[in-house]
């Protein structure tokens, strides 16, 4: 019988779909009956979800212009 | 691999299969045009990836000016190496690998301690099990993703050692598969999984502690005002 800590150690792999069907089933059965682990899993999933949406890839316009000018100048003499 | 109900990643903007195929096709066409001498096609590739590469570099080196220098270096190296790009991996994986190598070279030269002490990360999962605080999970998404929430997310990720931070950004922010992350970082998939597990738990703990403290402070204010 697995302990709560052992289930929690698999949550990251579970989120990534890296576990076997049997292991997924064991986790899902455990989560249905163990509220501390369900909370642990939910908090990990929430953390990953907000990280995936929370960091912008916006780039300042002046940085775009500088990169464009740099590449135009440096690549113009290069022939692939 | 079994696709469990946990695989919300399938809906990640960069992971959706049809979007990925369309992007790969667009990249292949642009690469062929660049090799044929069309510089505008290279600018298309730059336009498509500059924001993501800059974000990755910014997270790796933690300095906007250095990240800008490395961004220029990355695209210049990509342009020069494009003819040798064999297509064994996707263009995005190849490009992120160039950027990662540039950042690691910078760090090795200028901040070698940041790489050497990479394994100094402890999370609550190293301790006996006790339940996570509830306040973080019960906070609505619009608050978690508010300006203040986003700052906390950035700080929580920035607190991680560089290799953990990079793995988490590549997987959870950029949406690369574990295999792709392992290629970009030149690590084994097992090492990537282990770092990802610890990085995610560390970020979760930082955010959970912040929202628990915020909730306590709010309750104290309410009690005082009564």
With a cut of 80, say whether residue B126 has pLDDT above it: no
Q: Does residue B131 contact residue B95 with C-beta atoms inside 8 Å?
A: no
Q: Which fold has domain B17-113?
A: Rna Polymerase Sigma Factor; Chain: A (1.10.1740)
Determine contact: A61 vs chain B, CB below 8 A: no
Provide CB contacts within 8 A for B46, sequence distance 6+: A67, A68, A71, B75
List the 3-42 stretch of A: residues with Cβ below 8 A of B: 3-5, 8-9, 12-21, 24, 28, 35-36, 39-40, 42
The residue count of chain A comes to 80
Q: What is the pLDDT of residue B114?
A: 81
Measure CB to CB from residue A43 to each of B39, B137, B175 and give the nearest one. B137
Which tokens is B66 given?
């250095």
Give the span between the Cα atoms of B1 and A19, in whole angstroms: 6
Q: A10 CB contacts (<8 Å, ≥6 apart)?
A: A19, A23, A27
Whole-angstrom CA distances from B174 to A78, B47, B179 are 31, 16, 13
Residue B194's pLDDT is: 93
Q: Enter the pTM of the model.
A: 0.87
B173–A52 CB contact, under 8 Å: yes
- pLDDT above 70 for B127: no
Instruction: Give chain B positions within 8 Å (CB) of A30.
Output: none
Q: Give the pLDDT mean for B6-34.
A: 72
Closest by alpha carbon to A47, among B16, B141, B162, B60?
Answer: B141
What phi and psi, each to the nearest 5 degrees, are found at residue B150?
A: -65, -40
Q: What is the pLDDT of residues A35-66, one digit of tens each?
A: 999 999 999 999 999 999 999 888 989 999 99
Tell me the helices (H) and strands (E) count for chain B, helix number first: 11, 0
pLDDT above 90: residue B121: no
pLDDT class of B130 with cuts at 50, 70, 90: low
For chain B, give every domain's residue range: 17-113, 116-225
Look at B200 and A48 and tell me if their CB atoms are within 8 Å: yes
B196 closest CA partner among B176, B226, B217 = B176
**With an 8 Å Cβ cutoff, is B178 touching chain A?**
yes
Q: Which pLDDT belongs to residue A77?
A: 72
pLDDT above 90 for B45: yes
Whether residue B11 has pLDDT greater than 60: no
Which residues of chain B make contact with A36, given a CB cutoff of 8 A?
129-132
Lookup: tokens for A11: 């949550």
Mean of pLDDT values over B137-165: 93
What confidence tens digit (pLDDT) does each residue in A11-31 have? 999 999 999 999 999 999 999
Write out pLDDT tens, residues B173-195.
Answer: 999 999 999 999 999 999 999 99
A-chain residues near B7 (CB < 8 A): 15-17
DSSP conformation letters of B98-134:
HHHHHHHHHHHHH-HHHHHTTT----GGGSPP-PPPS
Reported as a pLDDT band with limits 50, 70 and 90, residue B61 is very high
How many residue pairs from chains A and B have C-beta atoms closer than 8 A?
165
Contacts of A55 in chain B (CB under 8 A): 55, 59, 150, 153-154, 157, 169, 173
User: Quick one: pLDDT band at residue B17, thresholds 50, 70, 90?
Assistant: low
State ipTM: 0.90
Q: Does CATH place domain B116-225 in 3.20.20.60? A: no
- CB contact (8 A) between residue A15 and residue B37: no
The answer, yes or no, to whether residue A75 has pLDDT greater than 90, is no
Q: Is B41 on the interface with A (CB under 8 A)?
A: no
Q: Find, among B166, B149, B199, the residue nearest to A44 by Cα.
A: B199
Which residue does chain A place closest to B209, by CA atoms? Answer: A43
Which tokens belong to B13? 């903007």
Residue of B nearest to A31 (CA): B6
């Amino acid at each position: 019988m697995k302990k709560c800590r052992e289930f929690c150690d698999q949550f990251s792999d579970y989120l990534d779909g890296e576990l076997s069907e049997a292991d997924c089933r064991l986790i899902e059965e455990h989560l249905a009956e163990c509220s501390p682990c369900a909370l642990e899993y939910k908090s990990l999933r929430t953390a990953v979800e907000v990280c995936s949406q929370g960091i912008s890839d916006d780039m300042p316009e002046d940085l775009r212009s500088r990169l464009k000018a740099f590449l135009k100048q440096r690549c113009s003499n290069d022939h692939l | 691999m079994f696709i469990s109900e946990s695989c919300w990643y399938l809906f990640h903007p960069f992971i959706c299969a049809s979007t990925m195929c369309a992007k790969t096709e667009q990249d292949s066409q642009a690469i062929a045009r660049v090799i044929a001498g069309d510089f505008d096609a290279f600018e298309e590739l730059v336009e498509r990836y500059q924001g993501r590469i800059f974000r990755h570099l910014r997270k790796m080196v933690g300095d906007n000016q250095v990240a800008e220098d490395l961004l220029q270096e990355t695209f210049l190296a990509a342009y020069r190496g494009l003819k040798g790009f064999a297509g064994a991996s996707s263009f995005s994986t190849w490009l992120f690998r160039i950027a990662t190598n540039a950042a690691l070279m910078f760090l090795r030269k200028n901040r070698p301690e940041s790489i050497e002490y990479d394994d100094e990360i402890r999370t609550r999962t190293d301790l006996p099990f006790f339940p996570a605080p509830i306040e973080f999970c019960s906070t609505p998404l619009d608050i978690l993703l508010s300006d203040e929430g986003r700052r906390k997310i950035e700080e929580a990720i920035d607190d991680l050692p560089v290799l953990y931070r990079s793995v988490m950004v590549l997987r959870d922010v950029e949406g690369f598969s574990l295999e792709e992350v392992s290629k970009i970082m030149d690590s084994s998939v097992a090492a990537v999984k282990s770092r990802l597990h610890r990085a995610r738990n560390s970020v979760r703990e930082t955010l959970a502690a912040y929202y628990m403290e915020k909730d306590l402070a709010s309750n104290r204010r309410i009690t005082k005002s009564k």
